[in-house]
Chains A and B, each alone.
Chain A
């Protein structure tokens, strides 16, 4: 019975003909192989050299003398792993703070009948137009004694009006009836926020949260401006110091360049691990922005 079915199926099933590739399609494919190589080779070369104990790297695209000593030094030297921990802590805390401020601000901005709502919206939008600039901001942070504390690197990136507006656009799409029904049932605004708005916005929270996380992980400017005490450096600061040659630990058994290559890899590995799983959220984030009303 089954056999017979199969025969019939094969007879009637639509089979696309194996089309021969046209010359253009072959050339196009080759172009993208080359583009992929251009993107990947610099990163691949750094990875390979970070695993190579020899320093005469040459053109080899695989390590000659495989060794993990560069990485070992990074995870065992306090002046190198401490910045990594600072990076993780500020990324987690900053992403939380950023999402908190964006969602709170966005939730208030969709209360259209609230007195002063327009003033608040304009206060936020004006900051996208005009800013005090680097030096006045630096002086404010200094006068408030934020410099050389992690507050100085958490505040500037966590209040992001662009992300707040993205979040508001997303909240605007939630049917108003839901809020009204909940309010009639005696739900407080805070409870509506936590039990209705946030659970309905998981996709936006993921996209915008990832944007915040990348921003905090990659932050260098705010550390450079506000942090002078190397105790509070993040990994980007440390990496920069190492590349400029001023901040290399006096380690034995490894060449300067292998250590530099390893440090570059350590700075991107956490992202590389989550990237394949989260790529769709990153792309979604851009598209929420692109279709902003």
Chain B
């Protein structure tokens, strides 16, 4: 308060503006406190990447040792490639499926059924990953109580004996990744259609009428009108999601287990398990270094996507 009074003497207009907005500063205070505690204090904590720190003893400065250790560890590289592979394949599959479903939804004639389907396919998006993992854990259980294995038994693919055992989908090195993609498709494809449906709703019906008069069939109309008008939205969706590639955590965390670490471990789960499940005293310094690498790559991706977004649609994403 006293500082503001001093300013008033030296530079009247600025201090007057500050005084006029005094209540706004007070209103911003809670936001500022939250953002400092949740975002800026942790950024200061990034200095531990250059220390060995176990949370009890004083941190010891070790220079670039933690980074050298990180780059020499196979576990880090495996997590890095898994992060890229799982998120990018998931992104492509989900976008592709959402486009197809949007186009088909758009062709639907019965509006009541269309509305019902839309309501239904948005639903799984709102279920937590814990619930999703629980539902599929129960459905895919490798026992006679799991729905999928019961069906497989009924049609004679497996019979639950030692020679042809039930398939443990979430605990199988070959099945884990495909199952992960399928679960993601189940959960988020429907939600992904919203943005495409909004674009399709904006296409002028005159275009379709004109094409129809010119003798274009249904497939030609889809190919020459619907699909091209979706192109921009598809690029936007891909760019927006590419920026989030490094964020992959909870979906993998709740679906993975010790058997499939090799197929499923991503950077965030690697950081978590190295810190909290390693069985020894954790070195927060090392896991901070891995986290810093993750944040830097993530930041780089956001900037690239922001640039790409400005180029393609004239506006950034942040």
- Cβ of A189 and Cβ of B134 under 8 Å apart? no
**Pairwise interchain contact A45-B139, C-beta atoms closer than 8 A:** yes
Known: A24-B107, A35-B121, A56-B145. A132 touches B31 (CB 8 A): no
Among the listed stretches A26-34, A63-71, A73-81, A170-178, which one makes contact with chain B, having 4 or more residues with CB under 8 Å of it? A26-34
A169 at the binding interface (Cβ < 8 Å): no
Query: Given that A136-B42, A144-B37, A220-B254 are contacting pairs, would A279 and B122 also be in contact in the complex, using a CB cutoff of 8 Å?
Result: yes
Which residues A156-183 have CB closer than 8 A to chain B?
156, 158-159, 161, 164
**What residues of B have a CB within 8 angstroms of the CB of A108 in the complex?**
24, 27-28, 31
CA distance A267 to B134 in the complex (A): 11
Interface class of chain B by DSSP: helix
Question: Which residues of chain A are within 8 angstroms of B42 by Cβ–Cβ distance?
Answer: 131-133, 136-137, 139-140
A41's closest neighbor in chain B, by CB? B147
Per-residue interface assignment for chain B, residues 10 to 35, with 1 indicating a CB less than 8 Å from any chain A CB and 0 otherwise = 00001001100101110110111011
Q: Mark B191-220, 1 if CB is under 8 A from A, else 0.
A: 100110010000000000000000000100
| Contact, CB under 8 Å: B271 / A134 | yes
Interface residues of B in 128-174 (CB under 8 A from A): 128-131, 133-139, 144-145, 147, 150-151, 154
**Cβ contact within 8 Å between A39 and B186:** yes
Q: What are the residues of chain B within 8 A of A45 when measuring CB–CB?
A: 138-139, 147
Q: Report chain A residues within 8 Å CB of B43.
A: 130-132, 136
B108 and A28 contacting across the interface, CB-CB below 8 Å: yes
Apart from A36-B121, A193-B27, A243-B133, 14 more pairs, CB < 8 Å = A43-B135, A56-B145, A101-B34, A108-B27, A124-B35, A132-B43, A133-B294, A138-B275, A159-B35, A218-B126, A264-B131, A276-B119, A286-B195, A293-B315
Contact A35 B24 (CB under 8 A): no
Checking A115, A134, A264 against B138 with a beta-carbon cut-off of 8 angstroms, the contacting residue is A264
**CB of A133 to closest CB in B, whole Å:** 3
B117 CB, nearest partner CB in chain A, Å: 5
- Report whether B37 and A155 are in contact in the complex, using a CB–CB cutoff of 8 Å: yes
Chain A residues with Cβ below 8 Å from B139 are 42, 45-46
